[in-house]
Structure 1
């Protein structure tokens, strides 16, 4: 079984690329972030024709998340319960799987803009609320996967130039602490379960030929509960779509689980 995540940075613009990718990579679940469209504009028919069910939480111009699945899911939750936040950043869905149902959470974590700003403080507050909610989700769903754009590069190995980025948003100490606070609940960074090529990233700035120079960050992650991590046989970043004309600035990340 394959679970994937991809920040597509506008589904209106990238829909053909997403459909092409799904045809070439028929994953069982795909979590999308940054839809940048309202609920009524979601292209459900296109995904139905591609063989997928979908749930989504849209927002005009910004944010927005969706979960595509081969089998229909149940128990959808939209947004973090108890957190008053108009931004559409989180969906949860339980999907059937050969080894038992998997609770899938799709998350588009805040960017934070810059250290010390209101948006940075919002990011840390959001991560704290996410952690409190995930505690309960793990208790209810031991087979849990949290996929998405976390907007955190957990370690210097996930940064093309650590000295240049030191202390900046996406790599600052408090952000990394917030990320590892999620890990400490009983989650595993599936990418780091395996030996990986050095300087493997999932995001590259559009500016200054970031992708061509491989000046990127690994900020898109698939965190698995300990039970699911035992069944994980691979986790890779597919850089191919980042080379498309008019690409997203992110690449898909795919985790493979034993059936």
Structure 2
């Protein structure tokens, strides 16, 4: 078995104690991190290495930033940045091969205030992701595209859907773009395992401390390509991490894949 997790840290250095504690308490083989909020030279590679993980990262001072960690090995970088806009300077996508699987870690733009230029950028970025996702699907590679999509796909993915009607994460255009990815063949792994359950990966910070449970949203997703569909064994969210001291406003989501046999001619390493 192999476990893949995604976690928007909301600042990798500020939340480093949370990250290291979380890594130590779990056996995730591949970890995708978003919203690092740090330049490349200040990424805490040594602390992560001491926790048992190799890493690649694509940083940006104060904003954005993505990383891929692999337990006991070094991820092999395949790409940083999505194709389609050479002038885009945001650090929002990085891709690696680990254990024969292509893993894309993404931090999709939030898009607020919407409508407006930030929302327009979100939709353009989403279009690029859809196009690149089609390329991966055509190649037939065992792939996972995971991260903070900043999209709440359906009403079941919000505790109180009406609260988000004016927010870019719930706009019809955002939800339609996500639905287009699924229509192209990507599989929402968490929803495949839990088809009718309210599961959430984000909660607002509360001014009184703790967090507002009524604000729960599911907008951190792990999409798997068809070659991995029948390998999916389990998925979930570690919601308890949201209640730790000085937490992120997100909680980690994860999937478990059975790769004990060859997958699409691409995976041939026995795991488990």
Contact 2:60 2:91 in 1 (8 A): yes
Matched, 1:80 2:71: no
Superimposed CA distance per residue, residues 1-31 of structure 1 (whole angstroms, 9 cap, x where no aligned partner): 0000000000111111111111111201000
Query: CA contact under 8 A between 2:68 and 2:75: conserved in structure 1?
Result: no
Stretches of structure 2 that go unaligned for 5 or more consecutive residues are: 260-272
What is the aligned-residue RMSD (CA, Å)? 1.6
Question: Are the structure 2 counterparts of residues 206 and 50 from structure 1 closer, same or farther at C-alpha, using a change threshold of 3 Å?
Answer: same
CA drift at 1:163:
2.1
Query: TM-score under structure 2 normalisation?
Result: 0.89
- 1:228 aligned residue: 228
List aligned pairs for 1:182-197, cutoff 5 A.
182-195=181-194
Name which of structure 1's ranges 207-216 and 71-80 shifts more when overlaid on structure 2: 207-216
- The normalised TM-score by structure 1 is 0.94
Once the two structures are overlaid, the 10-residue window that deviates more, 140-149 or 210-219, is 210-219
Report the Cα offset of residue 167 of structure 1.
4.4
Once the two structures are superposed, the pairs formed by residues 148-163 of structure 1 within 5 Å of their partners are 148-163=147-162
Aligned counterpart, 1:180: 179
Could you tell me whether the CA contact under 8 Å between 2:75 and 2:98 is conserved in 1?
yes
Residue correspondence of structure 1 range 71-110 to structure 2 within 5 A: 71-83=73-85, 84-96=87-99, 101-110=100-109
Looking at structure 1, the residues matched to 214 and 198 of structure 2 have their Cα atoms a distance apart, in angstroms, of 8
Count matched residues.
255
Alpha carbons of structure 1 residues 134 and 36: separation in structure 2 relative to 1, 3 Å = same
